[in-house]
Structure 1
Amino acid sequence: MSWPGRRIDAIAIGASFGGVEALKHVLPALPAGLPVAVFVVLHLPRERESLLGEIFAPLCALRVREVMDKDAVVPGSIYFAPPSYHLLIDRGPQLALSMDDPVEFSRPSVTVLFESVAAVYAEHALGLILTGAGGDGAEGLAAIQREGGLAVVQQPASARMPNMPASALQRISADYVLTLDEIMTLFQSLPTQAQP
């Protein structure tokens, strides 16, 4: 699995059931010095405090940062959507949090994040749908692909819960359909120097 040579400035990842385990595979594969911002929506119970930062900071070469509304996006960082808030990317680019109604029964919504990433990063975005129930993210991944970005989907047969990847593949023809190990290899091949 080799990198196609396209410049990527943002990676947007969506996951639900089984997502913590899947993310433990793919996020540590992102190499140190990668000049890319990574945005993650993981569906979590709303009544629980998110411990994702504490879980992933020791595992990842990139810095895990807290999402603060209106903060500038810092390349080389991983941002997790906080529980009960949509995470969006605005022009700048900068982070934005919203308490708008749930989308696909979810807040945070994968599709809301992906559509905002598509609008800001266009062909320099990569969207990734991992394991999960429901169909959240399919429309958002279509938006990323429509703007010229790369669409990557976990192979449904390899997912703990195949619904989200399968829904995405019903909506689009993905650029890559990969197992977690293949996604790791793809991420490890990302260039650590900024490309024109």
Structure 2
Amino acid sequence: MAAEQHSAERYDIVAVASSAGGIHGLGVLLGALGADFPVPVLIVQHLDPRHRTVIAEVLARRMSLPVKLAEDGEHAEPGVVYVAPPDRHLLVGPEGTLSLSRSELVHFLRPSADLLFESVAGAYGPRAIACVLTGTGSDGAMGVDAVKSRGGTVIAQDPATAEFKGMPEAAVGTGAVDFVLPLEEIATVIRGLVETERQ
């Protein structure tokens, strides 16, 4: 149903949120998207701000897509994975321009999935896909509501299959989730949505 209701639109961005257990989850999801994935992917993974992060290098070893830490003011390019740096909120504007912010913590978190999803909803509306993977807490739940209310599509990892079920369970609890899927099936659905709209 979700794909039908957006038949006039095409998907132009994917935003993914994860926390505890997320490096493995992101590796599985992003690794299965394939080298020719045609839209940008924005990632919020909760990281310890006290340490230099190697998440981009770790994820890059598991997939064929280029992975980098997002930089303030850069343009999100198709087929590139952008990861929010530690202690920075990642936001996106209407033209795909990324911005990083040190604004206040949201639910004690920076970066915040809620802020990323809300910016994606505002900038892309029905052309956005938001996905919540494993993690503790409820970050992302307000954001998926925003994405859904603007006509976007929301996917959550099946909490029963998540290493940590807090975040996907909170997302599902909003009633805004279109697909609840085991981790291994999420990439196939995302590819199907994005590529169907491009045929």
TM category, shorter: over 0.9
Which position in structure 1 is the counterpart of 2:35? 32
Are 1:35 and 1:194, in contact at CA under 8 Å, matched by a contact in 2? no
- The letter of the residue matching 1:4 is A
Matched, 1:132 2:135: yes
1:152 aligns with 2:155: yes
2:164 is aligned to 161
Higher mean displacement: 88-97 or 76-85? 88-97
What runs of 5+ residues in structure 1 fail to find an aligned partner? none
Kindly state the Cα deviation for residue 193 of structure 1 after the two structures are TM-superposed.
8.6
TM-score by length of 2: 0.91
Within 5 Å, give how 1:15-30 maps onto structure 2.
15-30=18-33
Report the Cα offset of residue 180 of structure 1: 0.6
Which amino acid is 2:123 matched to? V
- TM norm structure 1: 0.92
**Match of residue 178 from structure 1:** 181
Match of 1:14 in 2: 17
Amino acid at match of 1:13: V
The equivalent residue for 1:92 is 95
CA shift in 2, pair 1:195/1:185, >3 Å: closer
Q: Is the 8 A contact 2:37 2:191 kept in 1?
A: no
Q: Report the 3-state secondary structure (helix = DSSP H, G, I; strand = E; otherwise coil) of the residue aligned with 1:41.
A: strand
Aligned-partner Cα distance in 2 for 1:34–1:131? 23
Equivalent-residue separation in structure 2 for 1:195 and 1:76 (angstroms): 14
Q: 1:35 to 1:184 in 2, by over 3 A?
A: closer
Please say if residues 26 and 187 of structure 1, whose CA atoms lie closer than 8 Å, have aligned partners that are also in contact: no
Partner of 2:50: 47
Which digits, 9 at most, give the CA deviation of each residue in 1:8-58, with x for residues without a partner? 111100011111111111011112222211000001111111111111113
What letter matches 1:113 in structure 2? L
Residue type of the alignment partner of 1:24: G
CA distance in 2, matches of 1:140, 1:21: 23
Counterpart contact for 1:133–1:164, Cα < 8 Å: yes
Sequence identity, in percent?
38
Kindly indicate whether the alpha-carbon contact (under 8 Å) linking 1:114 and 1:141 is maintained by their aligned counterparts in 2.
yes
Return the offset for 1:194: 7.2
Q: 1:147 & 1:84 partners in 2: Cα distance?
A: 28
Q: Give the aligned length.
A: 194
Structure 2: stretches of 5+ with no match in the other structure? none
The CA distance in 1 between the partners of 2:36 and 2:94, in whole Å, is 24
CA shift for structure 1 position 105: 1.1
